[in-house]
Chains A and B, each alone.
Chain A
């Protein structure tokens, strides 16, 4: 039972990372119906950008005292802005021209973009895992026999806070309304005066910025990263987005936490070499039995 609760905590914090990535998938899919394969790699870029900022600031180990908060905030912000820009550039270069092309075309450029990003990171930081400074002081709390690390709570909190901000943005601002309108019917939105190109670019900006934040978090959480990290994480986050109901922001969050739990429990019960197999099998099962996800609404095929 102790093990169960321990894995529950581990799974939830893991899920926080997946949830942040899943938000980007779900937003982009919601608005242009494209699986942005490059999104997982933007997340890895977020870790590398954070690492670059920390190196510039001369941070190599635990930061204690009053400098901790500004350093963390600055690093996250820079990673988010840079990743957001990368997302916008990807959309501009690889997807915008193909918005009205047959469905296959943007999917194939998305895979191409993912390969390009991965290999640029390979050039930048080499093929082996790169260590990430363990900058948070990490007190542990004992809750009975279960140990909870401070950074696990921080991950969950950050994910929840960012999602709350996003939810407010989408539901209560003019741009958010434009995004929802574009997602529902692009042509009608355009006729109503919505600037489609800007709206889609902003969607990529926000989604990729969240992946950047997830990248920072994963660096702190795992203590290292490598250029190929985003592939499996991206696939799991996409599973989370589908599980929650693609296009649905709260769903992505729920799906992310669930996938984190499934991964943690699989690792505990049958061994970590099966974690990916179980998560991807879940993706297949969800798509077969409930393609609309837990919170999604069914969408009829458009003619």
Chain B
């Protein structure tokens, strides 16, 4: 199933047969990667991170500063993939260590504040970061002596490979001891603590892990764009990624990927096409302006009517609807679902 999906994803750029489509696929891929990372924090561990784009920014800027004429440093891309995700993870720990003791809603607001501080700092420190112009003409990755160039296709293949790695890592984490600890904390932190889980280090691991994914995404995205600028990483981006999770199904990897692809396509195709269609019938409405309105509506509607998302894991669905179904049926379903027991 997963292999078929990847095969389809690999031939997609040839089916689309134009550069803009490949470019879209690469961008959408970067956001799938981000959504998978945020899913570890929000979906698995249940920690609402509203400043996730900050780690994306840190990953992108780490790459930009170490592979551009900015400081004359030109480290190889493949090394920087690890360096950028490690730097992002370190910042995840730096932010998490003092704040993860806080109650869930305070954590949300602290991460929101952090998400504002980081791009603003990159904007202000113009002697290092190029200020509002950002950093340009970043190095292109080399693969066995071949330069990636300006075509989006090699970047897309690279991002697909990163997604494959991310899925394997996330899946294994979910089924490991730490993954079960994350879910225990998500369901009931106090009970988890009493079962002997060290909640602070476990939550910290989720933060670091999620941040490292966004470091990878930032590295790949920046190298494809060959530019970073402070205005790509605002609160809007964090909420965009959160909406992907909420739409697809928090905690469920296929759901998160689906949500991410749906929202990216909505932004790039459905809204512009819809606007054209409305113009054709004489309505002068620009739907592309309403994307954030749509994300807001998605967040509210999904939470009210389908909190488990469009493609939930069976277990999560059972948990969230335990109250309104027969409780024995829910309990049976929970027992039957193998993802926790294994």
Which residues in A have some Cβ–Cβ distance to B below 8 Å? 33-35, 93-94, 97-98, 101-109, 111-116, 118-120, 122-123, 231-232, 235, 238-239, 242, 273-274, 276-277, 280-281, 283-284, 287-288, 291, 301, 303
Contacts and interface: CB of A to CB of B under 8 A. Distances in A.
A292 to B, nearest CB: 11
B99 A287 contact: yes
Residue among A97, A109, A112, A273 facing the most chain B CB atoms (10 A cut-off) = A112
Interface in B263-302: 289-290, 292-293, 295-300
A253 to B, nearest CB: 20
B321 to A, nearest CB: 12
Contacts of A101: 303, 307
B334 to A, nearest CB: 16
A109 B292 contact: no
Given A108-B48, A277-B117, A114 B296 contact: yes
B242 A274 contact: no
B300 A301 contact: no
B307 A116 contact: no
Nearest to A231: B235
B40 interface: no
19 contacts: A97-B304, A101-B303, A103-B104, A106-B303, A108-B246, A109-B303, A112-B295, A115-B239, A115-B293, A115-B295, A115-B299, A116-B300, A276-B117, A276-B120, A277-B117, A277-B124, A284-B99, A288-B98, A301-B103
B292 A238 contact: no
A93 B108 CA distance: 22
A229 B21 CA distance: 36
Given A273-B124, A303-B190, A111 B293 contact: no
Residue among A239, A276, A283 facing the most chain B CB atoms (10 A cut-off) = A283
Contact of A111 (B102, B124, B239, B289): B239
Interface string B230-271: 000001000100100010000000000000000000000000
A35 B292 contact: no
B303 A98 contact: yes
A107 B296 contact: no
Contacts of B114: 280, 284
Given A107-B108, A273-B123, A273-B124, A284 B113 contact: yes
B105 interface: yes
B27 to A, nearest CB: 21
B299 A287 contact: no
B48 A287 contact: no
Contacts of A114: 296
A291 B105 CA distance: 12
B98 A284 contact: yes
B297 A35 contact: no
A242 B113 CA distance: 13
B299 A111 contact: yes
A107 B110 contact: no
B296 A287 contact: no
Interface string B301-314: 00110010000000
B303 A115 contact: no
B300 A103 contact: no
A112 B307 contact: no
A120 B294 CA distance: 11
A72 to B, nearest CB: 33
Nearest to B245: A108
A127 B121 CA distance: 24
A169 to B, nearest CB: 26
A35 B109 contact: yes
